[in-house]
Structure 1
Amino acid sequence: MQTAKRKALIGDIGGTHARFAISDIDELSVEHFAVFETKMFDSLQDAVRHYLASVPTRPPTAGFAIAGSVSGETIRLSRAPWTFARSDIADVCGTPHIHFLNDFEALALALPYLKKHDLHEIAGGDRDERGVRLVLGPGSGFGCATLSPAGRGWKSIPGFLGDASFGATDEWELAIRDEVAAAYDDAPLHEVLSGRGLETIYRVRNRLTGRGGEAIPAIEIIKAAEEEDESAVETLDCFISIFARYAGDVALTVGASGGIYLAGGIVPKILPALAKPGFLKRLHGSGGRSNYLTDLPVHAILSYDVGLRGVALALSDRFPMHSLSV
């Protein structure tokens, strides 16, 4: 019989939203789910306190997927003004049994356990069931991770592609790169493939085409594209093209024979654009591009709790049965 010792507080903390739940880390359940905007709180500590006050139990284990690097004692959330010490979060949770991992690292861990309803198929293909799987995508920033076979299990390795320099391939992209570089020492990819990036592309294209117009939030650009607004459609097509190119490049680099998974807060909102032929055409490429890509399955992750399930998996592995003490 399972005991309360196997319950854990789990969190998926992004630049825009913080998601919390209680999980049985053996059954990988997700209960008492709650989501908050990060701007509602001054710190992760405050958000955790608020959540714990709303649930009937304080589990003896806790784990958090964080948007950003989790190395070191002090952790800074990317694209949000939260910086915290591991020990501070342990104190708030009331347990020394605590674990942090990157948010895309958590997504990758959950990939083998996803069901059909968690995914939207963009391209079929022959997946190597024990091949490397790639998950990447835009939200408040741009994240990626790979999942590789390790013995009888899996090893998730986060990457930081969003911090890499954006490389332009045409005049439009060069103008976008110049716009981003004017505000940064370089032109990091997360300032192109993100909500802010979508807004930058819209602003640059309108300026260069002489359309003018006010800057609008990313969600309104996406909505306008659905309504066939010319500027918004061109903006989203440009965004999708860049996204597809990088997805293909990274899939080739890591040998993603297990498939490509698109994730991040923006992905479910732009499914119609991802379903257009242009996305796969750019991902597969032509000329020097490898035919390897055309055989890979491509899916978009739809479910809101996949990152939380990945945290539960990480905790189950880190704290095996009977290893916890009260």
Structure 2
Amino acid sequence: MIEHSRQALVGAFGARYVSLAIADIDELSVSNFALLSTADFEEPMQAVERYLASVPRCPNKVSIALAGTVEGDAATFTHRNWKLTRNDVRAATRADHVCLINDIEASALVLPNLSAYDLQELHAGAAVPYGNKAVLVAGAALGIAGLVRAGKDWVPVVGEGGSLRFVLTKEDLAELGTDFLAERYVACDEVFTGAGLAELYEALVAKAKVKAKSSGARQIAAFGLSGEDPVAMRALQIMATWLGRVAGDIALLYGARGGLYMGGGLVANIIPALQTGHFREAFESRGERSAYIAKVPVRVIKTAADAGLRGAAIAMARSLPSHPAASRPTARATS
């Protein structure tokens, strides 16, 4: 295979899963997709080595998006006791070009390239062309980033949004009890996760003094959406309200007239709950700025969008000399 095909091995390393694929960094299409569990490996490159055994060859470009901190040529993972350097990647893959990028930054980079196929629209709004965008990813933790236009390029702005303090209202405390999340600093990271949904459900069960019908975030989401468990249904309504509050804050912070995007397993698994008035009312309740935020489009990134992998592909394209970043949505993933 000739290298001008501009292919790259791309990876997305999260808290529990590793996604790997071969991507065309111009078309942003991915093939040979694989999903592995992080628990199966003692270090990150073991996952890559296992994957490479299943494909004919490794491209000479490797780009990895990871849940962690990237500084210079090294990365530290947040949810695993792992470290990774560009030299580690080169040693395992013999790649000439290696790119490491934070996963939330990668999610922000891909936003302009997402198509209607990749998204579930919650609110159409009135998008401003080239307006600032923002993304909120809720999975094993909460990640937040902005995307702003600078000349012809989109520039991601990433901080530590997951560490923002989560504050309960008087109405929350009346329903959940004053002991819920009491007497400590509670970060959004702890709330907008599967574990956070389970803790919310358990508080509602305890306050109502009823027997729990659901166990674990997935069952709570499923039983809440189906109506089989009224307490789970209420937990989803509250979570939708809380997501609306935080998403509205983020949209205002970044001036996200180009759109507020939400992704991650927690969000993707409760989309019907977000389509109710609970999310939208909390999102738009901004006093004199309510009219402003009502124009912000709100979209959910579907899990099948391969956002992390495509973001890693864009990061690779941008890292190469004299190469404009890919800028259009294209073909879907194939296997």
TM-score (norm 1): 0.90
- 1:227-246 alignment, distance < 5 Å: 227-228=226-227, 229-246=229-246
Corresponding position of 2:166: 166
Q: Is the 8 A contact 2:242 2:279 kept in 1?
A: no
Aligned-pair distance for 1:73?
5.0
RMSD: 2.4
Q: Is the 8 A contact 2:173 2:180 kept in 1?
A: no
Larger deviation, residues 25-34 vs 51-60: 25-34
Corresponding position of 2:126: 126
Structure 1 residue matching 2:169: 3-state secondary structure: coil
Corresponding position of 1:219: 218
Following the alignment from structure 2 to structure 1, what is the Cα–Cα distance between the partners of residues 34 and 53? Answer: 12
Corresponding position of 2:260: 260
Question: After TM superposition, what 4+ stretches of structure 1 lie above 4 angstroms from structure 2?
Answer: 173-182
Identity within the alignment, %:
35
Corresponding position of 1:75: 75
Aligned-pair distance for 1:5?
6.7
User: Structure 1's 83 and 177: CA in aligned 2 closer, same or farther, altered over 3 A?
Assistant: farther
Answer yes or no: is 1:10 the counterpart of 2:39. no
User: Structure 1's 94 and 20: CA in aligned 2 closer, same or farther, altered over 3 A?
Assistant: same
Structure 1 residue matching 2:22: 3-state secondary structure: strand
Following the alignment from structure 1 to structure 2, what is the Cα–Cα distance between the partners of residues 23 and 226? Answer: 35
Letter in 2 for 1:210: K
Corresponding position of 1:138: 138
Corresponding position of 1:282: 282
Following the alignment from structure 2 to structure 1, what is the Cα–Cα distance between the partners of residues 222 and 157? Answer: 34
Corresponding position of 1:309: 310
Corresponding position of 1:84: 84
Aligned-pair distance for 1:88?
2.2
Following the alignment from structure 2 to structure 1, what is the Cα–Cα distance between the partners of residues 278 and 83? Answer: 40
Following the alignment from structure 1 to structure 2, what is the Cα–Cα distance between the partners of residues 247 and 278? Answer: 13
Following the alignment from structure 2 to structure 1, what is the Cα–Cα distance between the partners of residues 187 and 94? Answer: 38
Letter in 2 for 1:319: L
Letter in 2 for 1:44: P
Residues 136-160 of structure 1: CA distance to partner in whole angstroms, max 9, x if unpaired?
A: 1311111111111011121112232
User: Structure 1's 7 and 278: CA in aligned 2 closer, same or farther, altered over 3 A?
Assistant: same
Letter in 2 for 1:295: K
Q: Is the 8 A contact 1:132 1:258 kept in 2?
A: yes
Following the alignment from structure 1 to structure 2, what is the Cα–Cα distance between the partners of residues 100 and 181? Answer: 38
Q: Is the 8 A contact 2:68 2:102 kept in 1?
A: yes
Residues 208-266 of structure 1: CA distance to partner in whole angstroms, max 9, x if unpaired?
A: 22225387211010011022111101111111111110000111111101011111122
Corresponding position of 2:207: 208
Following the alignment from structure 1 to structure 2, what is the Cα–Cα distance between the partners of residues 113 and 231? Answer: 38
Corresponding position of 1:186: 185
Structure 1 residue matching 2:88: 3-state secondary structure: helix
Corresponding position of 1:291: 291
Letter in 1 for 2:153: G
Residues 85-126 of structure 1: CA distance to partner in whole angstroms, max 9, x if unpaired?
A: 443233222235211111121121111111111111111121
Following the alignment from structure 1 to structure 2, what is the Cα–Cα distance between the partners of residues 120 and 151? Answer: 29
User: Does 1 or 2 have the higher relative contact order (CA < 8 Å, sep 6+)?
Assistant: 2
Letter in 1 for 2:97: H
Letter in 1 for 2:60: P
Following the alignment from structure 2 to structure 1, what is the Cα–Cα distance between the partners of residues 70 and 207? Answer: 40
Corresponding position of 2:327: none
Following the alignment from structure 1 to structure 2, what is the Cα–Cα distance between the partners of residues 92 and 4? Answer: 22
Aligned-pair distance for 1:68?
2.5
Following the alignment from structure 1 to structure 2, what is the Cα–Cα distance between the partners of residues 287 and 166? Answer: 20
Following the alignment from structure 1 to structure 2, what is the Cα–Cα distance between the partners of residues 176 and 71? Answer: 42
Q: Is the 8 A contact 1:44 1:84 kept in 2?
A: yes
Larger deviation, residues 254-263 vs 24-33: 24-33
Q: Is the 8 A contact 2:3 2:59 kept in 1?
A: no
Letter in 2 for 1:317: R
Aligned-pair distance for 1:65?
1.0
Following the alignment from structure 2 to structure 1, what is the Cα–Cα distance between the partners of residues 311 and 181? Answer: 33
User: Structure 1's 101 and 124: CA in aligned 2 closer, same or farther, altered over 3 A?
Assistant: same
Q: Is the 8 A contact 1:176 1:200 kept in 2?
A: no
Corresponding position of 1:21: 21
Letter in 2 for 1:199: A
Letter in 1 for 2:320: F
TM-score (norm 2): 0.88
Corresponding position of 1:110: 110
Residues 1-37 of structure 1: CA distance to partner in whole angstroms, max 9, x if unpaired?
A: 9635722110111112111111122232211111112
Structure 2 residue matching 1:290: 3-state secondary structure: helix
Following the alignment from structure 1 to structure 2, what is the Cα–Cα distance between the partners of residues 66 and 181? Answer: 32
Letter in 1 for 2:185: D
Corresponding position of 1:196: 195
Please, which runs of 5 or more residues in structure 1 have no aligned partner? none
